[in-house]
Amino acid sequence: MPLVAIVGRPNVGKSTIFNRLTESRAAITHDESGVTRDRVYGNAIWNGVDFDVVDTGGYVEASTDRFEQAVKEQVEIAVDEADLVLFVVDVRAGVTDLDDRVAALLRSSSKPVVVMANKADNEKLRWDASEFYSFGLGEVFPVSATNGTGTGELLDDITRQLPTEGASVAKSSGPRIAVIGRPNVGKSSLVNALLGVDRTIVTEVSGTTRDSIDTVMKYHGREITLVDTAGLRRKARVRENIEFYSVLRTERAIRECDVAILLIDATDGLEAQDIRVLKEAERLRKGLLIGMNKWDLVDKETNTARDVERAIHDRLQTLDYVPVVFISALTKQRTHKLVDRALEIVDERSKRVPTSKLNDTMLAAVERSYPPTHRNRFVRIKYVSQVSVGPPVFAFFCNYPDGIRESYRRYLENQIRDSFGFEGVPLSIVFRKK
Ligand code: GDP
Ligand code: GDP
């Protein structure tokens, strides 16, 4: 989905227009890495065009000394990350010095920019908006974020300039593998190790569009696309900026991939945020794999791979079907094994179990352990079928679908895994009335 970033100095009305654009659309409300996202990240739709909106202004603390730097940084990152920048200014205040500096930054970027002259609540103020043509950023849209005047024209222009669907996704028929993880776990290093070149340099040459971080590579004759969330890096001074965009990128990469490789820094171990990311990928039914990176730094005498893997699976609980590969992006130890495993998961995810085999195995498993009774009635499972591949979905036909408990669903899932594999693949199990 395309991303629109709202920039501008404080008090021009960024959060007001943000709320208007995303109103009645579910904003993401969970809180990650200390960044309150409901305030700043949401989804908008206009004329059938869906896009994400981010209000980057949330991070600008109004302490005067760092103020300018913060606004500048906010703009630079927005230019790197977004597909379009919505530059908000205040028609009542007119052009300020800071507005001019922001405009200069935006002029030197290749990203589409839409200028919104806010607080144009009446006809006279709408006329005053023409002052902002001095930015040299093209058409100026007078808007009143509070009463909604002018938002239609603004949105028409925004959606017209957004890349069309699929444009930011590299054209390749092969599987898409996302490399995700917290900052500094080694995502760039891994991608560079796999490509055999320092791709960050390549990216800088090829421009700043987000699609350039998708890398198509040939691997043992098979074409794969690496969806890299490390992306373009700025020496951001505001830590929240880095964290926020890293969370945002991760989410997008997961949505666009077949398999997500979650990299973990072995010297830090698994953190709560990692588990949240895995759960998100599971919810989206993507293949999952953990790369335990920087294994070269770990003392193997006291930490054997087997013990570490067991500890991870204990912590992951129901996600214990996710395989772990111990790697070093630095020494390239097992980095190819990691890709091999990811490709195995791609194949597992699109595997179909023949219906007769599935029924033989699963009805036998039901015989071994019947579902608990439901309101004193026997729950009988009569037939099983894999109704979908990539992601796999299994339907169990029974007399009381609502009478099946979660613990029994788990039992069936484990039985499927024991018999048919599906390592690293979230399984959907549904119960239907026959
Ligand atoms: P931000 O700091 O850029 O996010 O600005 P806010 O959205 O918090 O708005 C700052 C102030 O401007 C608030 O008091 C808003 O109510 C007010 N404001 C925002 N949009 C408009 C508008 O279109 N007209 C008027 N009159 N006031 C507005
Ligand atoms: P990213 O933010 O996830 O893309 O992480 P980077 O790839 O930039 O790596 C962060 C730091 O960890 C850099 O200093 C890397 O050199 C270092 N690093 C990455 N992978 C390894 C590894 O396997 N072993 C060691 N010792 N250092 C690594």
**pLDDT tens for residues 336-367?**
999 999 999 999 999 999 999 999 999 999 99
For residue 72, what pLDDT is reported?
78
Element (H, E) at 202: helix 199-206
For residue 93, what pLDDT is reported?
94
For residue 235, what pLDDT is reported?
44
What's the DSSP call for residue 414? H
Is residue 345 within 8 Å of residue 425, measured between CB atoms? yes
Tokens read off for 239: 């830590």
| Residue burial 152-171, b: 16+ Cβ < 10 Å; e: rest | eebbebbbebbbeeeebebe
Q: Residue 180 class from Cβ within 10 Å (0-12 exposed, 13-18 middle, 19+ buried)?
A: buried
Distance CA 77, CA 79 (A): 5
Q: Is any ligand 1 atom within 6 A of the Cβ of residue 373?
A: no
The list of the chain residues with pLDDT below 70 reads 24-40, 57-67, 164-173, 197-213, 229-246
Tell me which residue of 87, 157, 94 sits closest to 125, measured CA to CA: 94
Give the list of residues 6+ apart from residue 370 with CB closer than 8 angstroms, or none. Answer: 378, 379
CA of 190 to the centre of ligand 2 (A): 8
Cis peptide preceding 391, ω within 30 of 0: yes
Residue reference for tokens 């109004």: 62
User: Ligand 1: which of 6, 11, 116 to mutate, judged by most atoms within 8 Å of the beta carbon?
Assistant: 11
Instruction: Calculate the CA dihedral of residues 276, 282, 288, 290 and round it to 10 degrees.
Output: 20
Give the list of residues 6+ apart from residue 430 with CB closer than 8 angstroms, or none. Answer: 387, 393, 394, 395, 396
Return left, alpha or beta for 392; rule: phi > 0 is left, psi -120 to 50 is alpha, else beta.
beta
What's the DSSP call for residue 164? P
* pLDDT tens profile 139-148: 899 999 999 9
For ligand 2, residues with CB inside 6 Å are 181, 183-189, 230, 293-294, 296-297, 328-330
User: Ligand 1: which of 14, 16, 39, 146 to mutate, judged by most atoms within 8 Å of the beta carbon?
Assistant: 16
Looking at all shown ligands, the one closest to residue 185's CA atom is: 2
In one-letter notation, the amino acid at residue 119 is K
Determine the atom of ligand 2 nearest the C-alpha atom of 192: 7
Q: Could you give the residue ranges of the DSSP H alpha helices within 257-290?
A: 272-283
In this structure, which residue's CA is closest to atom 18 in ligand 1?
Answer: 13
Determine the atom of ligand 1 nearest the C-alpha atom of 121: 24
